[in-house]
Amino acid sequence: MRYDVVVIGAGAAGLSAATVLARARRSVVVVDAGEPRNASAQHVHGFLSRDGVEPARLLADGRSEMLGYGGQLLDDRVTSIERCENGFVVHARNSAFSTRAVLVATGLRDELVPIPGLREQWGIDVLHCPYCHGYEVRDTPIAVLGGDNRPFTLHQAALIRQWSPDVIFFPNGIELSEQDRRTLTARGIHIDEEPVTHIVVDAGHVRGVALRDGRLVPRQTIFVGPTFVPRDELLRQLGCTVGDADWVTVDPTGLTSVTGVWAAGNVVDSPAQLIGAAAAGSKAAIAINHYLLAQDIDHAIA
Ligand SMILES: Cc1cc2nc3c(=O)[nH]c(=O)nc-3n(C[C@H](O)[C@H](O)[C@H](O)COP(=O)(O)OP(=O)(O)OC[C@H]3O[C@@H](n4cnc5c(N)ncnc54)[C@H](O)[C@@H]3O)c2cc1C
């Protein structure tokens, strides 16, 4: 099967791109492995006009809009992309496609520190983004838990105080400088340096943070700083340039260093929220359409 564009990933970025391309009357297929990043969250916030919608509902609506314009969708996992004379061959586990251009919108993985109880509550009351869920937990007892992502977590601790006057920071392995202590204390954040052993969960909700000295500190919400791991294996296989931060770099339209290959959303932009990922997908789609148009003109002249 040959397409103008194969989009890999049917999250906000991929679906938005595919919709723009289908409406531009390009043949497009979206291949998706079915693991959107925010699947465990109960509601979406910060998406204009869709506030409070369930994550699965948002994507189901996006899928049906895209399909309505003639785009195609396939549940499968892409395993490799190879260049060929007229573009690329995209190999998935159960299918293969040839295509003129590729958009990789595969998102990222959130790696949490291995503290029992965290992963189970991820997206429910273990959170990382105050812009997504801070308002919903305003004025409640909040813990910020340290881990591997030092700068993100320290920034987060100072930031969360904006939503609640009752914030305790558990460094959990993060070494604090005098300046860090001054900043957190000045923000009215209590620091508890006792190591965390586990999170106490009861009836599906976080009840507190258990410490090595036997204390249980009652908390309703825990903010963490995951390590953000881009799902960029396909881009790296193709030889896309990687920047200083070890993330694949793209131009403002999402074009990678490889001609014909774009990337959009969290795979190249970890802070992008849903609306930002959708916007990046849309921008990439328009750039891809212009790229295809230039080819169409060349072929017509030839
Ligand atoms: C718990 C949580 C809650 C959040 N809440 C909000 C919120 O309220 N508001 C907000 O704006 N943002 C929120 N976010 C952020 C939001 O999840 C991201 O902005 C968004 O998911 C990025 O979209 P994306 O399309 O880049 O990636 P994703 O949504 O992760 O989609 C990527 C898709 O690509 C697929 N894929 C990956 N590899 C392959 C492959 N090899 N082959 C085929 N398919 C593949 C995946 O299965 C997935 O379906 C939240 C994040 C988390 C973790």
Q: Which of 121, 148, 124 is nearest to 136 (CA)?
A: 124
Helix/strand/coil (H/E/C) assignment for every residue in 242-260: ECCCCCECCCCCCECCCCC
- The count of structural domains within the chain is 2
By alpha-carbon position, which residue is closest to atom 53 of ligand 1? Answer: 38
- Produce one character per residue of 14-33: b if its CB has 16 or more CB atoms within 10 Å, e if not: bbbbbbbbbbbebbbbbbbb
- Produce one character per residue of 53-81: b if its CB has 16 or more CB atoms within 10 Å, e if not: bebeebbeebbebbbeeebbbbebebeeb
Hey, what are 140's tokens?
């409640």
- Confidence at residue 106, expressed as pLDDT on a 0 to 100 scale: 98
By alpha-carbon position, which residue is closest to atom 26 of ligand 1? Answer: 265
- Confidence at residue 148, expressed as pLDDT on a 0 to 100 scale: 85
Backbone angles phi, psi at 61, to 5 degrees: -65, -40
Residue ranges of the chain whose pLDDT lies below 50? none
Residues 216 and 119 in one domain: yes
Residues 119 and 70 in one domain: no
- Confidence at residue 137, expressed as pLDDT on a 0 to 100 scale: 96
Of 203, 224, 245, which residue constitutes the final position of a domain?
224
Candidates 124, 223, 274: which one to mutate for ligand 1, based on the most atoms within 8 Å of Cβ?
Answer: 274
Given the CA of residue 265, which atom of ligand 1 is nearest to it? 26
Beta strands in 43-140 (DSSP E): 72-75, 78-84, 87-92, 96-104, 108-111, 126-127
Which domain range does residue 117 map to?
A: 113-224
Residues 177 and 117 in one domain: yes
- Confidence at residue 24, expressed as pLDDT on a 0 to 100 scale: 98
Residues 117 and 80 in one domain: no
CA distance to 159, 178, 191, per residue, from 181 (Å): 14, 5, 8
Given the CA of residue 9, which atom of ligand 1 is nearest to it? 34
Backbone angles phi, psi at 122, to 5 degrees: -60, 125
Residues 266 and 180 in one domain: no
Residues 9 and 79 in one domain: yes
- The pLDDT > 70 percentage for the chain reads 100
Tell how far the Cα of 175 is from the centroid of ligand 1, in angstroms. Answer: 31
pLDDT digits (tens, 9 = 90+) for 111-143: 999 999 999 999 999 999 999 999 999 999 999
Residues 32 and 99 in one domain: yes
Hey, what are 6's tokens?
């194969």
Tell how far the Cα of 36 is from the centroid of ligand 1, in angstroms. Answer: 4
Residues 139 and 60 in one domain: no
Given the CA of residue 122, which atom of ligand 1 is nearest to it? 1
Residues 218 and 262 in one domain: no
Of 224, 252, 280, which residue constitutes the final position of a domain?
224
Q: Is the CB of 271 under 6 A from ligand 1?
A: no
Burial of 141 (0-12, 13-18, 19+ CB in 10 A): middle
Q: Which of 25, 88, 44 is nearest to 278 (CA)?
A: 44
Q: Enumerate residues 6+ apart whose C-beta is below 8 A from 290.
A: none
Rg (Cα) of the chain, in Å, rounded?
Answer: 22
Residues 148 and 169 in one domain: yes
- Confidence at residue 166, expressed as pLDDT on a 0 to 100 scale: 97
pTM, two decimals, is: 0.96
CATH number for the domain including 239? 3.50.50.60
Residues 173 and 251 in one domain: no
